[in-house]
Structure 1
Amino acid sequence: MYKLLIVEDERWEREGLVDFLDWTSLGIELSGTARDGIEGLEHTLELDPDIIITDIRMPGMDGLEMSRRIKEIKPHIRIIILTGYGDFEYARKAIDIRASHYVLKPIGEQKLLEAVQKVIRECEEDVQFKQEREKLRAEVEEHRERMKEKWLHDLLFGTLEPKQVKEVAQAEGLGSEHGRYVAYAIAETKQDRTVERLRNLFPIPCVIAYSDHREGQWIIVIPEPKEQQEEFAAMLARRMAGESGWLWQSNIKIGTGPVVDGLSRIAESVKQAEQVLAYASFWDARGIVGLEQVERERAAFLSEVADFLQRSSQQVKAIVHAVQALDEAKACASAEEMFQALVERRGADGDYIRHYISGLLFELSVLAGTSQTDECLGTDPGEQLYALPALAAIKVYTLHFIKEALKAIREKRDGKEEYIIRQVNKLIEQKYMSSDISLKSIAEEVFLSPNYLGSLYKKTTGQSFHDRLAAVRMEKAKSLLALSHYKVAAVAQEVGIPSTSYFCTVFKNAFGISPGEYQDMLHRK
């Protein structure tokens, strides 16, 4: 609805204009009326109308002076001037002040309606123009933000053109692309981290960007601090503690990169900072971790790697022997001892540790005799390990794996025949649709002879392997026949019986009617 203000000094004329047209049907809301130009100007400032209808001749301030002042303040307002035949000079001035329209008195309904409709069209054009302008402005701003993000990403990861480095430095308030800069990689467990709070941690001009290498990780770039690295790290620690207390400080991890000459080389510092952060995350080294600390611990590990390999080999053997003996307490205690030894050698690379642990888990999976049908253990524990970012998570996974291996071994030893039958039934459910499935192929997968497996299956379940396979196929066939678009021949293929006639015979023997009759019976309902 467009807002309308009526300005007329004559009471009867003013009240007549209020009811002159059906304003609501025209999309107009009558916001108010005024008795002269002074009151009209005051109401305009207060109500901010879209359209004003005003008489020319009024005491105090006439309609033209009021219109002139309104146009200076709010040029978008559309004004319709009411004038008499003898007011030619007034009409000329109305044109000079860019009035939208003027209507001669005595006012005719059609003439005023035409003037109002013209003004409404102009208002609609203004709205459309404003919307298009806002849309364009938003698109330009969005494009600018995307380009800024891309340039920041390219700068931090070493692919930004040298000529654009200067623009990024100026846009981020760094002043110059020259000078010395350092990068920090930050990760923490709290979920309410914002760019503003990070800026409070690094109050000097800085670049803040979200890393796409790891979720929950930020990259901060600042000019080289005046303080020494250790002093600056201590200052950051104080700020962390001062802002959010010990809880935040205990959760946050910061990896520090080396200082580099020139912003164009900052990718070198970013890469090192992320590597240090990955180290800190793996070993749960909280607070601020520097490259020097990581290098010292790695050097210490290399000096005693031979002793580590000897001890780790003994620990792996102890775990395997305990699992073989079904001694869960000893197996878990040996695993705890192994991880404690790892914690004491924090210089080892995370992937080195994962490779070492995956060797243990592979031995356990072989010992447990696992295959693709074992949902708990699977066949590639190493793949699971490499998805875990921290040693603590690897420890939890390893202890769980040891317990599942013990469980699998117990099941096989306590009920070997039942275990075999469960495995066979799983294989039937998985492979019934293959025409190649047979007692011989299944026997090979469970490492038994076909004759022995056939006899064992019949003795344990009371039905033959082939009867079980046929029963599973027929139940699956019933489900498919319930779908009207499935033809009988297609269903036979789906359940692993290439011969349609043989499929029909087996189905009729099982249910007393042919597949076609069964499908017709379902869809007649």
Structure 2
Amino acid sequence: MYKVFLVEDEFAIRKGIRENIDWEGNGLIFSGEAGDGEQAYALIREIEPDIILTDIRMPFMDGLELSELISSNIPSIKIIILSGFDDFHYAQKAVSIPSVINYILKPINGEKILDILRTTITLIEEERRKIRSSIEMSDRQIENRKLLQESVFGEILKSELKPVELLKLSQSLDINLSARFYVCAVVRKVDTGEENPDKREIQSGIYQNVLSSLFDGRADILVYGKAMEEQVILFKGDSLGSLENRSYDLLNTLISQIKTLSSGSLVISMGGICDRLTDIRKSYREACSISRKSFLFSPNSINDYRSFENMYQQSRQLPLVNSDFLQKLLSYESIEYLDVESSVKKLFLNLKEKEIDASEIDFLYKELLVHLNHYLIESGVDYSIIDDELSLNQRFHYSVPDIKDLYRKATDLISLSFECRNRHQEHYYTDRMEQVILYIQNNSGNKGLSLDEVAAISGMSPCYFSTIFKQYKGSSYIDFLTEVRIGKAIGKLKNTSITISEIAFMVGYNDPHYFSHVFKKRTGFSPSEIRKNLNS
């Protein structure tokens, strides 16, 4: 419903207009009246009507002065001039004021006023539709551009496009991929274990700001996946030595700034340097293979593929962990269904107990650690939990003197892996729900934020998500979203002079009147009352 405010110095005319029009029946609210422009302006600032009906000739402040003041300070309000025949030239002058959209010649009747008001409402709705459409289009264009830029990296990894096609695609998106040498780094934030969502958000914000300050706007660096827990950084250069030095210098600066500004830490893995666009995929995969073994490294270190390449080249003929059997073993719901000790002996391929030496036993043990770490990460267990509960960094340095000790340690590790996985699953939904809550808080201003979208973020069906969310929060998804939106609206009412209609659009409502209805239902006060109380 649209609010109408009347400014008229003659009481009889005010009363006639107020009482002889079916306001609510026509989708309108008669929100107030005043006998002159000076009194009216103070009330208008508080009430924030959508439409003003005003006479021209009034004491203290006339209709033209009031209209100019409103047009300058509250331009969203539409003004209709009530003009007598003798004031017609004043009415013509008033129409030149931007907020004045029409005038009515006296004598006036209710039907004539309603006709003009209906036309005005149509104009308001069209303007608001255009504003919403413009904002949404702008947001979509920005988001689509980001998605398209991300898609370039996806095309590189798929290796389905020829180099010339990749270059053309990147150029069309203002990305310069051309260079003599490339190298990929995978940067992963290590979970600090902070349970307070506000503090986690602050930590995340610090990280994003440091990333942006170091890498945004650089033609020789591309960063992908900024909003995720793991980022891929592509470094480019025309000199092998300078590319290596620059990439390490920047990554060390990233580590240093994160250590200085927050309690977080990073795990950074580097692939090999390549000299072709089509080999970027290989560099990325190399970085990922090191990232999966990140528990072997100290936090805040840079780990490159070359340091592992020689070790694995030399160990190809050694006995190996049977990864397929390990995957099958760990797929059981509980360790109670397994004879772990007898199963452990099937874990190792090419194992000849009487011929194996100490170095081969040591290698098998370390490889088992790598496989278990990878499995648990893929199962959704956080790196910090794995390291804390399985002490992988310490175990990597354990001595394994003989085959019996290998079997014993492997049995213990598999038992601990079951326990870790199952304990984590008890907290699985807690982690997911916290991610969802953070997503809702960050995207509550999106008018199209739906249950389906949020459920997809959680990896659950909408129906199942609704059940889990209500169990976790004690309220439905819609109730929580409304709570977040109203909370943000209160903040804007307190700290800004933005109109209530604009606040409604900003926090996620298409209809300011529906927003006011929901706001009052939630808080017991109208937005204007809250603003007045907060600022008094």
* TM-score with structure 1 setting the length: 0.50
* TM-score with structure 2 setting the length: 0.49
RCO comparison, higher one (Cα < 8 Å, 6+) = 2
